[in-house]
A and B are shown apart, each in its own frame.
Chain A
């Protein structure tokens, strides 16, 4: 397989253009020989016209490709390309003229072959210049593309293409068709020339440069036109090449566009700083509205705000004052102003009545920047810009100008917009940070909740002589209720239920301490009252002064069918005796743990042993159940629980528990939450 090398359009069209130009030169020279020798060369004039048209198309192809390729749409570069081509063409023209005049009256000067050669060189250069410049103008015209402009340009290109062939019809003699077409193309070119939207985007300096380049182009066009059409010397040319409609129309177009661009650029010079200013403002606004990333500092936004405000108002100096709690000493940032001057002006501001009225505005949302006149050796006018977040002023920016009444309405408008936007960015930043922090707390609480759940036993120790179940619910994520079991030996089991004062996280911590104390002390085989005394002394060292824990402990001996019980300030336990068919609260004194933190506690704890029979039941619970309130503020109370057990004592522990909890929820009301931790443990002897 022969692999064709990739076709390089630029190089190909350049090569073709050169070949066509040489062919054109050759054909015309041959014809010249014919004319001089009065011989019929046999080459039809159409042949020249075809070559001419081909040359136009090749040059067009080359420039179209090369301009598109180097599409640095930098306007100055484009105009410079046009200008440099113009300089080059003019230079060659001048050299040819100089060469001709240096020949003087010699025979060579009159040589028609040399004339024809120069004529072709000049024609080639003119074509290159007009086509390349026209294509550069195309880029400028289509800078802000709209469908209409693109259509117009396409129409103009088609018209220009047609104009290349007009010569075949009028056979080189300009007639009405020629002039009519020229006028039409001229109008089209003029209409296109109204598209000068690229000019405002030039900076002040760029405008000056483009004026220079445009002047060069205009000069080149003028020189080339003058040289080609006006100062016509009597040279014998076999065929008129540069009189082509295509070249003439293009000349008109590039001239009109260059002149218009020159004038518009010139008249845009004085206002260009305003346009630049607006552009900077738009960019600043965009920078301010970009939300701050969580890890970034809000001071950066305030920095941008300061810069934006200063440039919008052409301020000579400025400072920023923060009055928020984060900066108790008052955070300040100074720009082009020293501390002493700032303090002097601050003093002036504070004693100004307008400012005092302004600062006492009830609704800070409505605050807008105000201007002030001050008497200070350096600055004569001030602008106060409030920074408002969440309906409170958290700071202000003071802009200073050396001139009197230096702030106009437009500046005030744009600055208050800047300030509002910056405040929104700061506020969003703060909210986002807060949200992230909250999220983390939520995560921590979830972990706490999981850890705490694991502190409550999943398996409750018991043997075949009794059944047991338990339930616990925390009002918050974590709670202070505690229950546990422990197997002393085959016949002896310990049950404990406890309640830490308060609720929430602090209660949860103390609850875990209680678990540790129970699990370690109970292994010492203590009696219930000894356990309470030891637990009290242990807790005395780690509980906060205003916290205490209540607990009830039971040691069940299934061999002897006895229960030994001690109570430390905990709500009494309900005991159902099947033989009496009666439920009653176990009456026993006892002081909460952590209330008396000395040996005195021993006097306040007692223990009691009683027997049980098969079918008897124990219900241990915490005060969350007793104190749960309905919408009438009535408490669930001890009596309801007692009645429930009397009714349902036949059921299994799990069923009894469900009955009590369901009844509790029904009492409180379906949607209402019980705002305390509550737990219960039900034991039934078999």
Chain B
């Protein structure tokens, strides 16, 4: 199960992920991000406080935007990931490519 809430705050679009991202629902995450991009968002924050698990399909969604966002100069920051979820990002090496922060405050400052 995955629920996504979006919130706009000081020019940042914040996505609150709750539950698990796997092959069956990674499309929902993809749609949510695409929606923000087409709406012209320039800064997307992903709040991972409620994220319990992310599968390779879920990682694939973030990964697929990497080059795109670099070109369009869109900021994508992830914060407040649990240790277990962060470990998954780290094993794959995404922690070197993506902006991942321990909490919202550090994410906004960076």
A501 nearest CB neighbor, chain B only? B56
A450: B residues at CB distance < 8 A:
none
Chain B contributes a number of interface residues (CB within 8 A of A) equal to 22
Q: How far is the CA of A546 from the CA of B68 in the complex (A)?
A: 12
Query: B37 on the interface (CB 8 Å rule)?
Result: no
* Contact of A547 with B92 in the complex, beta carbons under 8 Å: no
* Most chain A C-beta atoms within 10 Å of own C-beta, residue among B23, B61, B97: B23
Residue pair B91, A595 in contact (C-beta under 8 Å): no
Asked if A571 and B84 sit within 8 Å, CB to CB, the answer is no
Contact of A569 among B30, B53, B66, B92 (CB under 8 A): B92
Choose one: B26, B52, B56, B66; the contact of A623 (CB below 8 Å).
B56
* A604-B96 contact given A501-B57, A502-B60, CB 8 Å threshold: yes
A677 CB, min distance to chain B CBs, angstroms:
10
Given A591-B96, A595-B97, A604-B96, A572:B60 Cβ within 8 A? no
Residues of A within 8 A of B56 (CB): 499-502, 548, 550, 623
A residues within 8 A CB of B26?
Answer: 546
Query: Distance (Å) between the CB of B41 and the closest chain A CB?
Result: 20
Contact A501 B60, beta carbon cutoff 8 Å:
yes
Number of interface residues of A (CB under 8 A): 29
- B40 touches A (CB below 8 Å): no
B97 with A591: CB separation less than 8 A: yes
For A138, the chain B residues whose CB sits under 8 A away are: none
Chain A, residue nearest B84 (CB): A635
A570–B88 Cα distance when bound, in Å, is 10
8 Å CB contact of B30 from A546, A571, A627, A633: A546
- Is A124 an interface residue when CB atoms closer than 8 A count as contact? no
**A640 contacts the other chain (CB 8 A):** no
The reply on B28 being an interface residue by CB < 8 A is no
CA distance A572 to B96 in the complex (A): 17
Complex alpha-carbon distance, A467 and B26, angstroms: 40
Residues of B within 8 A of A633 (CB): 52
Which residue of B23, B30, B94 is within 8 Å of A595 (Cβ)?
A: B94
Interface centre among A502, A571, A590, A635 (most CB of B within 10 A): A502
Cβ of A171 within 8 Å of any chain B Cβ, yes or no, is no
Q: Which of A504, A589, A592 has the most CB of B within 10 A?
A: A592
Question: How far is B64's CA from A502's CA once the two chains are assembled, in angstroms?
Answer: 14
Q: A501-B59, A502-B23, A546-B61 are in contact. Are A596 and B91 (CB under 8 A)?
A: no
Asked if A391 lies at the interface with its beta carbon under 8 angstroms from chain B, I say no
Which residues in B have their C-beta under 8 angstroms from that of A672? Answer: none
Q: Are A571 and B91 closer than 8 Å at their CB atoms?
A: yes
CB of B67, distance to nearest CB on chain A (Å): 7
From the candidates A546, A589, A604, A676, name the one contacting B64 in the complex (CB within 8 A). Answer: A546
B32 within 8 A of A: no
Q: Return the contact of B93 from the options A501, A503, A547, A569 (Cβ within 8 A).
A: A569
Instruction: Please state if A550 and B97 are interface contacts (CB–CB under 8 Å).
Output: no
User: How many Å lie between the Cα of A635 and that of B96 in the bound state?
Assistant: 25
Chain B interface mostly helix, strand, loop or mixed?
helix
Report the Cα distance A550→B96, complex, angstroms: 15
Residues of A230-284 contacting chain B, CB below 8 A: none
Task: Return the CB mask of A591-606 against B: 1 if under 8 Å, else 0.
Answer: 1100111000000100
Within 14-70 of B, Cβ neighbours of A (below 8 Å) are at 23, 26, 30, 52-53, 55-57, 59-61, 63-64, 66-67
Q: Does A545 contact B (CB under 8 A)?
A: yes
Which residues on B sit within 8 Å (CB–CB) of A571?
91
Bound-state CA distance A27–B84 (Å) is 126
* B66-105 contacts to A (CB < 8 Å): 66-67, 84, 91-94, 96-97
Closest Cβ–Cβ distance, residue B73 to chain A (whole Å):
17
The A/B interface has a contact count, at CB < 8 Å, of 68
Q: Which residue of B lies closest to A500 (CB)?
A: B56
- Report A486-537 residues with CB < 8 Å from chain B CB: 499-504
* B97 partner residues in chain A, CB cutoff 8 A: 591, 595-596, 604
A residues less than 8 Å from B52 (CB atoms): 633
Once the chains bind, are A589 and B96 in contact (CB under 8 Å)? yes
CB-based contact B96/A592 at 8 Å: no
Report chain A residues within 8 Å CB of B57: 501-502, 546
Report whether B84 and A595 are in contact in the complex, using a CB–CB cutoff of 8 Å. Answer: no
Of A499, A589, A595, A604, which one neighbours B63 at CB under 8 angstroms?
A: A595
Q: Which residues from B are CB-within-8-Å of A547?
A: 60
Contacts of A499 in B (CB 8 A): 56
For the complex, what is the distance from the CA of A623 to the CA of B92, rounded to whole Å? 11
Q: Which of B53, B55, B63 is within 8 Å of A546, CB to CB? A: B63
Our pick among A500, A503, A572, A676 for the contact of B91 (Cβ within 8 Å) is A572
Closest-by-CB residue of B relative to A603 is B96
In the assembled complex, the CB of B25 is this many whole angstroms from the nearest CB of chain A, namely 12
A569 contact set on B, CB distance < 8 A: 91-94
* Residue pair A545, B96 in contact (C-beta under 8 Å): no
Q: Are B93 and A545 in contact (CB under 8 A)?
A: no
A592-B84 contact given A548-B60, A548-B63, CB 8 Å threshold: no
Q: Which residue of B lies closest to A568 (CB)?
A: B93
Name which residue of chain B comes closest to A598, CB basis: B67
B21 shortest CB reach to chain A, Å: 12
Residues of B within 8 A of A623 (CB): 56, 91
Listed A/B pairs (23) with beta-carbon separation below 8 Å: A499-B56, A501-B59, A502-B56, A546-B26, A546-B30, A546-B57, A546-B64, A547-B60, A548-B63, A548-B92, A569-B93, A572-B91, A591-B94, A591-B97, A595-B94, A597-B67, A604-B93, A604-B96, A604-B97, A627-B53, A627-B55, A633-B52, A635-B84
Starting from the known contacts A546-B57, A570-B91, A595-B93, 15 additional A-B residue pairs (CB-CB under 8 Å) come to A502-B60, A547-B60, A548-B59, A548-B60, A569-B91, A569-B93, A569-B94, A571-B91, A591-B96, A591-B97, A595-B92, A604-B96, A623-B91, A635-B84, A676-B55
Residues on B facing A (Cβ under 8 Å): 23, 26, 30, 52-53, 55-57, 59-61, 63-64, 66-67, 84, 91-94, 96-97
Minimum-distance CB pairs A-B, first 7: A591-B93, A501-B56, A546-B64, A546-B60, A569-B92, A545-B64, A502-B57
